[in-house]
Copies of this chain bind each other. A is one copy, B any other.
Amino acid sequence: MCAAATDAPPSRRDRIAAVRAFNRTYTPAMGLLREGLLESAYTLTEARVIFELAQRDESDAAELGRLLRLDAGYLSRLLARLEAAGALERERSPHDGRRRVVRLTAAGRDAYALLDERSTRDVGRLLAGLGEAEQRRLVGAMDAIRAILGPEPTAGAALVLRAPRPGELGWIVERHGALYADEFGWDERFEALVARVVADFAADHDPRREAAWIAELDGAPVGCVLCVRADERTAKLRLLLVEPSARDRGIGARLVDECLRFARRAGYARIVLWTNDVLRSARRIYEAAGFELVDASPHRDFGPELVGQHWAREL
Residue numbers of A with Cβ under 8 A of B are 1, 4, 9, 12, 14-16, 18-31, 33, 48, 51, 69, 119-121, 123-124, 126-128, 130-146, 148-150, 154, 157, 165-182, 187-188, 191-192, 194-196, 198-200, 202-203, 217-218, 220, 244-246, 248-249
Contact A131:B179 (CB < 8 A) given known A18-B139, A19-B142, A146-B21: yes
Contact A19–B191 (Cβ < 8 Å): no
Could you give 19 example pairs across A and B, Cβ below 8 Å? A15-B138, A18-B142, A19-B126, A21-B146, A131-B178, A131-B182, A132-B181, A132-B182, A133-B157, A166-B177, A166-B178, A166-B181, A167-B178, A167-B191, A168-B178, A169-B191, A170-B175, A195-B203, A196-B202
Contact of A196 among B124, B168, B199 (CB under 8 A): B199
Contact A181–B167 (Cβ < 8 Å): yes
Contact B173–A170 (Cβ < 8 Å): yes
Contact A248–B133 (Cβ < 8 Å): yes
Contact A148:B134 (CB < 8 A) given known A20-B119, A170-B170, A177-B167: yes
Question: Within the assembled complex, what's the spacing in Å between the Cα atoms of A116 and B287?
Answer: 47
Question: Within the assembled complex, what's the spacing in Å between the Cα atoms of A18 and B135?
Answer: 11
Contact A166–B138 (Cβ < 8 Å): no
Contact B145–A141 (Cβ < 8 Å): yes
A214 → chain B closest CB, angstroms = 12
Contact B188–A29 (Cβ < 8 Å): no
A220 → chain B closest CB, angstroms = 6
Contact A124–B16 (Cβ < 8 Å): yes
A86 → chain B closest CB, angstroms = 25
Contact B176–A188 (Cβ < 8 Å): no
Among A21, A121, A146: residue with most chain B CB under 10 A: A146
Going nearest first, the 7 A-B pairs with the smallest beta carbon separation are A170-B174, A167-B178, A170-B173, A166-B181, A192-B202, A141-B141, A22-B142
